Structure formats: C-alpha cells, structure tokens
Amino acid sequence: MFNQESFLNYLKYEKRYSPHTLAAYKKDLDQFISFGNELVEDFCLEAVDFHLVRQWIISMMEQDISARTVNRKLSTLKTYFRFMMREELLETNPMDRVIAPRVSKRLPSFLQETEINRLLDGKYFSDDFEGLRDKAMISLFYGTGIRLAELRAIKTEDLNLNECMVKVLGKRNKERLVPYPREINRDLTTYIAKRRELFGEGSCFLFMTAAGEPVYDKLVYRSVKKHLAKVTTLDKKSPHILRHTFATHLLNHGADLNAIKELLGHANLAATQVYTHTSFEKLKEVYKQAHPRA
C-alpha cells in the first residue's frame, strides 16, 4: 500500500545509504504511517495531504520532540514522497506546502585540549579488556574524528599500524584513509594483544564486547560518556563530541578547512564551516597578532 520496501531498496541500492541510515528512515516512515492509521480510516498513500503532515508535526512538538528531530523526520517524508512522485504513484506531493519548524543554530560543543589530554594521559582506564578497549576507542575517536558507525565497522585488516592509517567506510559506503597520531599505536597494540589472548582471531571487527561480539551503539555511547564525565562538565558526552573536538583542535592549530573536510568525510565544505564559528582560541590568537594594541 505504501511501497515501503521499494522505497528502502531505492535508498539502499541507488542512494547507497548505510544500514544505520536505512533503519532510521524505516523507523520514521513507520511512525508516520502508524500516526495516519490512528486518524484516518482505511489509511493509504492517496489519503496523505499536508494537513495530516502538519498534524503529525504538532503531535511531535506536543511530545517535546525537538525541532531538529522533527525536521529530520520530515526530511524522510520529503525523500519518500519525491520517490513516490518519481515512480508516478502520486499526482501531487503533500510535502510541497509543509513548512518545517525553525531550528535554533547551535554551535558544536567540544572538549578543551587540557581535558582530553588529562583523560588520555592519566590513569582513568582499567587494565582489563574493557578498559583497554575503551581507551583504544576514545583515542581513535579523538585521533581521527571518525563517526560512531565508522568506528564500529572497522575491521582488523583496515588498520595499518606501520603507516598509522585506518581505512574508514563512511556515509553512502564511501571509503577514505584517515591518518592518526603514532602514539595511538600503543593503545591499539595493547588492546589488540588482549583481544587476541581472549578471543583469538575469531571476529574480523576490531572492537568487540567482553562476550566476543562486535560492539554496538549503546555500549560505545555508554563507555564514552562514562570516561568523558571524569574530565568534563559538558552536558553532552558522546562519540560525536570527540568528532567536534578533533575538528576544532585541528582548526585551532592552523589546519586548512578543506583538509579537515576530507578527514571528516564531509560531502561539502558547508558542513565543515560550522567549526570556524567555534574556534574562539584561534580567533583570539589572530586578534593578538593583528591588533596593534592587543
């Protein structure tokens, strides 16, 4: 009735979206269809109009769902109905008249250099398997700026310890090579040795749980949050904060914005330019050098 399978296959095979993104699109679409079923008898594709979409927006806002999340869900619907129009399954696009909620621009949060250095140089990690794994993960997050999904997908063969390089599978299955600081090899080799001692060469994935399975999102979030809480008072303590920290610190130390874009795997420079607004330390340095009375 709603051709979800055809839509998801289009995203998977033509747009080459990752399994994580596909799951998010499917969840958004299922939620909208469930909402429609509650309001419309014999709910079907042709019954969708902009009034119904607007009711869904209001319903989500009343549940205190953030405008940013609402807009992401609306983006799913826009992509879905464009596909329906392309397949000539609809004559009019119900999203044409939909106005998305305004989102206040938030600057990315990041750790100070003293904070991340204190965490990685201090005695905050245990010497057991989980402690060694957590330190290796956090070191790699900060040393490369990779996304959570990218870290989870790393296989042992993707790691080049001699060249201090890791092959990363990014959004839309685009591969890129990302260098990392040589000192991270110490954390990686210690963890890999412990991993091999416990599990042999069983799994091809680099990061594993204590049960010998590949790590999953909640475990990584929980581990990062636990350790970041030891050195920072930031409200949000997540892998993505380490990505923001990586980019901001590179910019503070004079890295070219285009180079940061490539390292982060951004499709365009606009996504990277947000870090130019957060690099206050860099602005202060430029001010000191340029202003005659500074």
Catalytic residue of the set 12, 20, 266, 282: 266
User: The tokens 């499709």 sit on which residue?
Assistant: 267
Residue spans of alpha helices (H) in 122-183: 129-144, 148-153
The yes-or-no verdict on residue 88 having pLDDT over 90 is yes
Instruction: State the Cα–Cα distance between residues 131 and 223, nearest whole angstrom.
Output: 9
Give the residue-averaged pLDDT of 178-201: 95
Q: What structural domains and CATH numbers belong to the chain? A: 4-97 (1.10.150.130), 113-287 (1.10.443.10)
Task: Please report the pLDDT score of residue 281 as a whole number.
Answer: 61
Q: Could you confirm whether 124 is annotated as catalytic? A: no
Q: Could you confirm whether 171 is annotated as catalytic? A: yes
Comparing 238 with 19, the larger pLDDT belongs to 238
Give the residue-averaged pLDDT of 213-219: 96
The yes-or-no verdict on residue 285 having pLDDT over 80 is no
Q: What is the CA radius of gyration of the chain?
A: 22
Arithmetic mean of pLDDT over the chain: 92
Give the residue-averaged pLDDT of 84-98: 94
Q: Could you confirm whether 216 is annotated as catalytic? A: no
Catalytic residue of the set 147, 195, 237, 261: 147
Confidence category of residue 201, pLDDT binned at 50, 70, 90: confident
Q: Could you confirm whether 266 is annotated as catalytic? A: yes
Instruction: State the Cα–Cα distance between residues 215 and 135, nearest whole angstrom.
Output: 14
Task: Please report the pLDDT score of residue 106 as a whole number.
Answer: 74
Instruction: State the Cα–Cα distance between residues 157 and 183, nearest whole angstrom.
Output: 19
Q: Could you confirm whether 152 is annotated as catalytic? A: no
Task: Please report the pLDDT score of residue 275 as a whole number.
Answer: 79
Sheet harboring 159-160: ordered strands across? 159-160, 165-169, 175-179
Q: Could you confirm whether 182 is annotated as catalytic? A: no
**Is the pTM here over 0.85, yes or no?**
no
Confidence category of residue 164, pLDDT binned at 50, 70, 90: very high
268 backbone dihedrals φ, ψ, rounded to 5°? -145, 165
